[in-house]
Amino acid sequence: MKFVTDIKNTRQEEKKQPTKVYDTKDLNLWYGNTHALKNVNFPIYEKEVTAIIGPSGCGKSTFLKTLNRMVELVPSVHTSGTIEYRGENILDPNFMVEDLRTKVGMVFQKPNPFPKSIYDNIAYGPRIHGIKDRKILDDIVESSLRGAAIWNEVKDRLKENAYGMSGGQQQRLCIARALAIEPDVILMDEPTSALDPKSTLKVEELIQELKKDFSIVIVTHNMQQAARISDRTAFMLNGELIEYDYTDDIFQHPKDERTEDYITGRFG
């Protein structure tokens, strides 16, 4: 009987194990001679929020921008190791980076709407992907703005310039713009650091909603934020991944002294 129970338990555990969206293995990255990422290994799971924390210059943004290969915009960059996205190595020279860009949306630290109407900001990506039908674009604009919890605030001013919105609204517009391409993953680089506490709370609540449908990776300097909204946390230091675990374990029972020093504010 025990054997049967063991099999049942194992099966249930297997079922519970979420799917990996990314799997990073032995990743190294150099900017010229600067070794910015050192043997980084960790998975990112589907429909979870993964937070990346660590002191300034530890490689958080570099790692995030490697996940959509945006880091390659810096000419001196070279890498070794692999990053599998849904089983395909995105660092393989034959990998079609354009495909990745339609699957992975990105939201930056400072809201960066285009100097266009609210409507055109959202319709921009779908239009680039060849959608011209007005009715379809209208639907995408509405569902993306609804998805980013900003529809009710802007539905009567879609033709107005996005620069006329508050910072918090602009950031939710940028999240809506990322949603409009129907991404699989959303990368967020300190998305609330330029926002006031009220807008920050709105974006944090939004992230909790979005993880039902998307996998989210967020770089944050705000440890309370990481603790509040993420499922798993990666702590980086000097380009190395020091510790990666469930967020509760990282914050309540860190295994490495350096993690403990950082999260308790003892870090120099």
Residue 127: φ, ψ to 5° = -65, -40
Which of 6, 9, 11, 57 binds ligand ATP (CB under 6 A)? It is: 57
* 215 membership: H or E segment, kind and range: strand 215-219
Check binding of 68 to ligand ATP (CB under 6 A): no
Check binding of 191 to ligand ATP (CB under 6 A): no
Measured from the Cβ of residue 216, the count of other Cβ atoms closer than 10 Å reads: 25
Query: Distance (Å, rounded) from C-alpha 190 to C-alpha 52?
Result: 10
Using the contact rule CB under 6 A, the part of the chain among 19-27, 38-46, 50-58, 251-259 near ligand ATP is 50-58
Which of 7, 26, 74, 96 binds ligand ATP (CB under 6 A)? It is: 74
Query: Distance (Å, rounded) from C-alpha 56 to C-alpha 61?
Result: 10
Check binding of 173 to ligand ATP (CB under 6 A): no
Residues near 93 by beta carbon (within 8 Å), at least 6 away in sequence: none
* 144 membership: H or E segment, kind and range: helix 134-147
Residues that bind ligand ATP (rule: CB under 6 A) add up to a total of 12
Tell the residue number behind the tokens 């995105």, with chain if given.
Answer: 90
Check binding of 61 to ligand ATP (CB under 6 A): yes
Whether the CB-CB separation of 233 and 252 falls below 8 Å is answered with no
First to last CA, the chain: 55
Check binding of 108 to ligand ATP (CB under 6 A): no
Using the contact rule CB under 6 A, the part of the chain among 54-62, 85-93, 173-181, 194-202 near ligand ATP is 54-62
To ligand ATP, the closest distance from the beta carbon of 43 in angstroms equals: 20
Whether the CB-CB separation of 111 and 170 falls below 8 Å is answered with yes
Which of 9, 10, 19, 34 binds ligand ATP (CB under 6 A)? It is: 34
Nearer Cβ to ligand ATP, position 126 or 191? 191
Nearer Cβ to ligand ATP, position 69 or 202? 69
What are the residues binding ligand ATP (CB under 6 A)?
31, 34, 36, 54, 56-62, 74
